[in-house]
Structure 1
Amino acid sequence: MSDRPSPLADPHIAFDVSEGRRDIVVLGSTGSIGTQAIDLVLRNPDRFRVTALAASGGRVALLAEQAHRLKVAAVAVAREEVLPELRDALRALYGSEPLPELLAGPDAATQLAASPCHTVLNGITGSIGLAPTLAALEAGRTLALANKESLIVGGPLVKALAKPGQIIPVDSEHAALFQALAAGTRADVRKLVVTASGGPFRGRTREQLAGVTREDALAHPTWAMGPVITVNSATLVNKGLEVIEAHLLYDIPFDRIEVVVHPQSYVHSMVEFTDGSTLAQATPPDMGGPIAIGIGWPERVPDAAPSFDWTKASTWEFFPLDTEAFPSVGLARHVGELGGTAPAVFNAANEECVEAFLAGRLPFNGIMDTVTAVVAEHGVPGTGTSLTVPDVLEAETWARARARELAAKATAEARA
């Protein structure tokens, strides 16, 4: 290992800061990250310009409004069937003005990721973000990465393409680690400490989690996120994925990455150095700061996020993780250490189980029970160094099918 953090996201690396505005391509523009990024861009028109947008196609009216307001050159939707609706919505807004270029289909976002720009913000949810991540890196774009799944499932592929300083993390935890790591070299780091809010079920036992509902799981106490990420926060799968991501981004062994529960979500993560010092990055819960780091680094964007009022008293609490009630972090460490296609199997099985839970076909505890069973059946994968995109896709296909089978079996047995 080197004596510095991995150059994938190394805050020490000097960036070329070009004059004028940065051109940004936003993938997942109608989601939580995308809408907040666009708001940040609109508040800083002298710094940023959005040149293209991509979305799944579930919020056509919003996508058309974004395109018109930002005057983008291209718009992409993953769902081809909504293209006529999108074209009509754009015509209603543009009038006689020429429409932006329209792309549709599962590869549309990947095409935009390679288009001319300074930075690609990948805010897509799920492992479908892998292809756009690889395309952006291969095209030489700076990648502001909010799509952690693409790094999880394709870690070796992503690392093989990424040049020094090409990936800037947008997750609040990894943006926090990124900033704190600037205070020392790789040899100075003793451990990374990733904070977790604990989700809506902090303090509950496994038995108490058995009957929680979809509505319970979606009621996150501090963050407003999409349903899949919110359920992942409730199971703490999200935190397990972040442990794998931290290992890949910063080249720190798993046994030196800890998770601590911090209900207030003020401290987004910490770095402990060998001299005993711990540096914590803190802001009130808000994604504006991490997004600004992702698209603006090495410059900081004024007022990107709220700051603390230090004249008011506040309490910051930290608790150890309950690994019995929330086994997801331990399982994530396991698949991360296995490498190869194991992380892809873990992630794909979880995505299927979350969908089943949200649809009422699987109980809450059944999510991790099923994911654990799928990972166990998958066994020991091949070495990560020989991983290919077809390997990842094949493993995901198997894991999704097996997760659906096991979830259906569990539901049938529960109703019998």
Structure 2
Amino acid sequence: MATHAIDTAPALPVTLADVQAAHARIADQIVRTPTLISRTLSEMTGATVYLKFENLQFTAAYKERGALNTLLLLSDEAKAKGVIAASAGNHAQGLAYHANRLGVPSTIVMPTNTPTVKVMQTEGHGATVVLHGTTFDAAYAHARQLESERGLTFVHPFDDPRVIAGQGTVAIEMLADIPGIDALIVPIGGGGLISGMATVARAADHPIEIVGVEAELFPSMFNRINGTDMPCAGDTLAEGIAVKEPGGITSKMVAELVDDILLVSERSLEEAVSLLLQIEKTVVEGAGAAGLAALIQHKGRFTGKTVGVVLCGGNIDTRLLANVLLRDLARSGRLARLRIRLQDQPGALFNVARIFDEQRVNIIEVYHQRVFTTLPAKGLITDIECEARDRTHLDRLIVALRDGGYEVSTVELA
């Protein structure tokens, strides 16, 4: 991967001057999000960790930058006819919001299975939403068809120099705020954000390591750069970077400018989302937490470095967020479900509950199973959901139950 110095940059479709011009163009129309140190995450990871809170943009994602830059570069004729995009995510919101603000008609094509809340949010920003096909590819093809039929301007989510230049403005702000950053960790979906940011970082007055992050389930850019053929499929928490085919322009830029691409597990993504809420008190979607997930999973990789991590978006379904937080509590031992075998006789459940009381472990829910069990007719299984202070506290309870003569097992998470 990137072994070339900055003198190769002019051959690429986006230059530092393009990104600087984009920043001058959009700066007064977007949120200048803060870049703040996280002392707790720094202690946890062994790096000095600075977070760029792009989840604080009005539409809760950095995608506004590239969309706005593109809109501002359109001719008056193109603005009058309007823009079109295919997206069910943050690109749709960012483009719709700024197009509406600038008086440019916008059409967003989404797959028919897009959650209603995303359709309503996009319509709320003034866009016309067209539902077509069951896949992104079908929605994309329909958008390109409408583009030619209606004379609209198609705004690609990542594979467009105007969009890439806009996204690169994230790095201009980060390095202006914290000049000492010597490593940038950036999520990769289609590659627009990292292409723009790497363009800026390569022009810095000191070496900056540029590391991309993809979900293990969707290693599309990793495959493209490394010539591998790992599958891109599955239900990832990082849906914002679940891209099967990276861009042509962005692939060229990543190959030239990026030092490494790391892959992160679903478990690391869940832990990162949970940590950001608990420690930084900020809501970040799975894709937005990918940078921190890489720091957690590849801990020794960044020891001693001053690391800039982009929290690139905060649009996560509240039910999904609740599930992630509860699963994290379960993994840390603060929530558990214990399966206990009892004798079917009076006082059996009372005697078990007494041990919970002695150990000061809170019972949340009891599932008393008499019929649907593989035990003999007189056997009885009880599942008890409980809340402990931590893993050690939970372990003490399990020992006490076993000392009391009970068979106990924990019902583990995947």
| TM-score over 0.5 for the pair | no
- Give the TM-score normalised by structure 2: 0.24
- Give the TM-score normalised by structure 1: 0.24
Query: Which structure: greater strand fraction?
Result: 2
